[in-house]
Amino acid sequence: MAPFSRHDGTLYCEDASLEAIAATYGTPTYLYSRSAIETAFLDYQSALSDIPHLICYAVKANSNLAILNVLAQLGAGFDVVSLGELERVVVAGGDPSKVVFSGVGKTTTEMQRALDLNIRCFNIESEAELLSLAELANGAGCVAPISIRVNPDVDAGTHPYISTGLRENKFGVDVALARQLYQIADEHTALNPVGVDCHIGSQIEETAPFVESLECLLDLVHDLRTIGIRLQHIDLGGGLGVNYQAETPPSIHDYVAVLKERLQDQALELVLEPGRSIVAEAGALITEVLYLKPTADKHFAIVDAAMNDLLRPALYSAWQDIQPVTLQDGESHVWDVVGPICETGDFLGKNRAMVLSQGDLLSIMGAGAYGFGMASNYNSRPRVAEVMVQGETTHLIGKRENLSELWQREVIPSGETS
């Protein structure tokens, strides 16, 4: 069941009205449907139930503790890219033995903590990183489980900023170098090569690039077997797209089915790192129209949310649906929905036909992924509240920042206050 629906002209998330959420928690506020998150995760789980698998939710998509906790309760593993994300998983009750650690620049502090926690796998992105981990593990008298992130040189057909699987991108290593790194790892007593991974990009709408990457990884796995290196898992990363506007990405089920077809009889565990496809459509950002400003060229609706709260439109020209929370009668105009920040790039949506009045509430849809997680305090704007909806119940899962929190970490050197 879709998490958002309209009754008597007003928008609901599950059984909670967005009007009521705005009245209780103020605006702007992010809200997330718990059941939509659970349903997406369970879709992955049931599609994969007949093969060995591990679903490692990509924490960067939405790292709120309550969301991590919901997923941990369902048995999720986690893909982390920083010490902060790793500690969040621990605090949220996630199981470190189901954690994979990605990223091109893991520090020794990060790797040490991950070793202490006995994480499932380090996804290694360079020779220097491999050697650094080997030295650490050796010093600690333990063996680090590793996977090499292969850059399969596949065009994911997505926005250049979120495309990661081309040779020119900073991610992973090419197949030839990967082979050499596996040999180094195999010979090193403090390294255990357990898997291979890739991640070719995000918001991918076709299955072909995934299949191409999977075939590239399978070729490498077979090649390694001939030199006596037997890997146990293939991690295909995340990247499955969602429907923001009129995109038609494969369903979770169809995507997994295509992968399983290629994996038959391989005796390999399939690891996936989905982020967006689990949380994006579960979330929305409610904002209030502060002022309407019709000009000779454009109609601007100035709202209380801005690019610091939801960066995707400004950064990637991303299109997210914007709906009036309650439909009004009247004349429709075409609006640019913009925030109060002093940047021309501060827009949430352009050319949206709506009937609007000052004080109306708008809901920016598809905001569960890469929304709050990419928020900043730019223009000294406190970060907004986050609410989880469960049926008709709402829980505050992220408090709105207060003003003093904006500068609590800053210090005026003594003697300089007057």
Catalytic residues: 342
DSSP-H helix ranges across 252-328 = 252-263, 276-279, 312-316
Tell me, by CB under 6 A, how many residues bind ligand LLP. Answer: 21
271 vs 234: CA distance, rounded Å: 6
Instruction: Give the whole-angstrom CA distance, residue 116 versus residue 137.
Output: 10
**Among residues 25, 44, 210, 370, the one that binds ligand LLP under rule CB under 6 A:** 370
Could you tell me which residues come within 8 angstroms of residue 222 by beta carbon, excluding any fewer than 6 positions away?
none
Instruction: Kindly tell me which residue out of 312, 352, 381, 383 binds ligand LLP, with binding defined by CB under 6 A.
Output: 312
Q: Closer CB to ligand LLP, residue 167 or residue 222?
A: 167
Closest to 362 measured CA to CA, from 348, 376, 341: 348
Per-position b or e across 244-266, b if 16+ CB within 10 A of its CB: beeeebbebeebbebbeeebeee
Q: Does 162 bind ligand LLP (CB under 6 A)?
A: yes
308 lies in the binding site for ligand LLP (CB under 6 A): no
Q: Closer to ligand LLP at the Cβ: 317 or 357?
A: 317
Helix (H), strand (E) at residue 219: helix 208-226
Structure tokens at 41: 């995760």
Give whichever of 88 and 276 is closer to ligand LLP, judged by the CB atom: 276
The piece of 70-78, 197-205, 283-291, 300-308 that touches ligand LLP (CB under 6 A) is 197-205
Q: Is 213 in the site for ligand LLP (CB under 6 A)?
A: no
List binders of ligand LLP among 77-136 (CB under 6 A). Answer: 79, 102
Enumerate residues 6+ apart whose C-beta is below 8 A from 136. Answer: 108, 111, 112, 115, 144
Span 215-274, contacts to ligand LLP by CB under 6 A: 237-240, 273-274
Map tokens 């596949």 to a residue.
Answer: 154
Is 202 among the residues that bind ligand LLP (CB under 6 A)? yes
Tell me which amino acid residue 304 is: D
Question: Which of 199, 233, 381, 383 touches ligand LLP (CB under 6 A)?
Answer: 199
Q: Residue from 126, 277, 323, 394 that binds ligand LLP (CB under 6 A)?
A: 277
CB of 25 to ligand LLP, least distance (A): 24
Q: Does 209 bind ligand LLP (CB under 6 A)?
A: no
Q: Least distance (Å) from ligand LLP to the CB of residue 343?
A: 18
CA distances for 4 relative to 1, 87, 232, 318, angstroms: 9, 32, 40, 21
Given the complex with ligand LLP, which of 96 and 274 has the nearer CB atom? 274
In the complex, minimum distance from the CB of residue 274 to ligand LLP, in angstroms, rounded to a whole number? 5
The two tokens of residue 202 are: 């995000």
Dist. CA 278–CA 186, nearest whole Å: 35
Sheet strands side by side (includes 4-7): 4-7, 10-13, 16-17
Between residues 102 and 308, which has the closer beta carbon with respect to ligand LLP? 102
Shortest distance, CB of residue 148 to ligand LLP, whole angstroms?
Answer: 13
Hey, what are 396's tokens?
A: 């505050």
Among 179, 160, 159, which residue's Cα sits nearest to residue 168? 160
Q: Are 318 and 244 in contact (CB under 8 A)?
A: yes
- Give the residue from 51, 55, 93, 99 showing the smallest Cα distance to 76: 55
Q: How far is the CB of 240 from ligand LLP (least distance, A)?
A: 6
Give me the least distance between CB of 350 and ligand LLP, in Å please. 18
* Residue closer to ligand LLP, measured from CB, 15 or 155: 155
3 or 371, CB closer to ligand LLP?
371
Smallest gap, in angstroms, from Cβ of residue 275 to ligand LLP? 3
Residue closer to ligand LLP (CB basis): 14 or 79: 79
Can residue 203 be called a binding residue for ligand LLP (CB under 6 A)? yes
Do the beta carbons of residue 194 and residue 232 sit within 8 Å? yes
Q: Which amino acid is at 83?
A: L
Residues 36-75 that bind ligand LLP (CB under 6 A): 58, 60-61
Query: Does 276 engage in binding with ligand LLP (CB under 6 A)?
Result: yes
In whole angstroms, the minimum distance from the beta carbon of 237 to ligand LLP comes to: 4
Binding site for ligand LLP (CB under 6 A): 58, 60-61, 79, 102, 162, 199, 202-203, 237-240, 273-277, 312, 316, 370
